[in-house]
């Protein structure tokens, strides 16, 4: 997991509530990513940010929002518009230098009932 | 990014070499082959990557065929802790740098 913190490990919410998942890193990496993983499936990209104050939609951005006000932090908000929010959410970071891999955090398992 | 094909699951006896295949027949000349693994309920972990030459590190070896249309990840002496889902990914290392994860291969190490 390195210097990537995602908390809490497990999160429970009622349907219709917005919830914000935190991702903090002390690796001084420029790029940060949010992925979603459903049981038995691969990872799907929600949002990514290459630099502070800039972010781009991934493949499944609908119902999610992000901010990148600091290099160290890339919080993800799951809004009530997300139809199936229950999933395992993974944050990743990467240095801007080419050839380096992404490092993943431990993940947050969100359950919405 | 090119698409990859992996078997959904494999078994390997503890202490033996685990050979995980991956097909990537549409790989482009500037795309690398990356391998990650994910132990249950944890984030994916980088293992190794290569362009066209075989690569080896402390975790594994990567064998890429000469035409680059397929590769094999080798765990030389598998242990129970190697039980995980292994993802083979092809991607360029610049641009959007999005990683497309497929379903991977679920490797079971048998005691």
pLDDT tens-place string over residues A69-85 = 999 999 999 998 898 99
pLDDT of residue B36: 93
Query: Which chain A residues are Cβ-neighbours of B102 within 8 angstroms?
Result: 42
Burial class of residue A13, CB neighbours in 10 A (0-12, 13-18, 19+): middle
pLDDT of residue A1: 47
B46, A103: Cβ pair inside 8 Å? yes
The tens digit of pLDDT for each residue in B4-56 reads 999 999 999 999 999 999 999 999 888 889 999 999 888 999 999 999 989 99
- State the Cα–Cα distance between residues A36 and A90, nearest whole angstrom: 6
Within 57-76 of B, beta carbons closer than 8 Å to A belong to none
Q: Which of B31, B44, B106 to mutate to test the interface with A (most CBs of A within 10 A)?
A: B44
Q: Give Cα A102 to chain centroid, integer Å.
A: 13
**Residues pairing with B38 in the sheet:** B85
Rounded mean pLDDT for each run of 10 residues along chain A, 113 residues in total: 84 92 94 91 90 93 97 96 93 79 92 93
Q: Supply angle C-alpha B100, A103, B49, rounded to 5.
A: 65
The tens digit of pLDDT for each residue in A4-16 reads 999 889 999 999 8
Q: Which of A25, A44, A57, A102 to mutate to test the interface with B (most CBs of B within 10 A)?
A: A102
Rounded to whole angstroms, the maximal C-alpha distance in chain B is 43
Burial class of residue A35, CB neighbours in 10 A (0-12, 13-18, 19+): buried
A103, B98: Cβ pair inside 8 Å? no
Query: Is residue B109 pLDDT above 50, yes or no?
Result: yes
Which residue do the tokens 């420029």 mark? A30
b/e per residue B3-20 (b: at least 16 CB within 10 A): ebebeeebebeeeeebeb
* Residue among B34, B97, B103 whose CB faces A42 most closely: B103
Q: Give Cα A73 to chain centroid, integer Å.
A: 10
pLDDT of residue B28: 87
């Amino acid at each position: 997991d390195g210097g990537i913190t995602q908390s809490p490990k497990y999160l429970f919410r009622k349907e219709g509530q917005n919830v914000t998942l935190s991702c903090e890193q002390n690796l001084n990496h420029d790029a940060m990513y949010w992925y979603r993983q459903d049981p038995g499936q691969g990872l799907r990209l929600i949002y990514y940010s290459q630099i502070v104050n800039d972010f781009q939609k991934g493949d499944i951005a609908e119902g999610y929002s992000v901010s990148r006000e600091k290099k160290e932090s890339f919080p993800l908000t799951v809004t009530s518009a997300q139809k199936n929010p229950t999933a395992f959410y993974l944050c990743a970071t990467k240095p801007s230098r080419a050839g380096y891999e992404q490092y993943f955090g431990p993940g947050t398992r969100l359950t919405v009932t | 990014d090119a698409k990859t094909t992996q078997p959904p699951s494999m078994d390997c006896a503890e202490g033996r070499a685990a050979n995980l295949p991956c097909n990537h027949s549409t790989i482009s000349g500037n795309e690398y082959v990356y391998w990650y693994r994910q132990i249950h309920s944890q984030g994916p972990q980088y293992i190794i990557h290569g362009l066209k030459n075989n690569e080896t590190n402390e975790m594994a070896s990567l064998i890429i065929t000469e035409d680059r249309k397929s590769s094999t990840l080798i765990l030389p002496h598998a242990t129970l802790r190697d039980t995980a889902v292994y993802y083979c990914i092809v991607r360029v290392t610049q641009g959007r740098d999005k990683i497309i994860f497929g379903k991977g291969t679920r490797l079971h190490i048998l005691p």
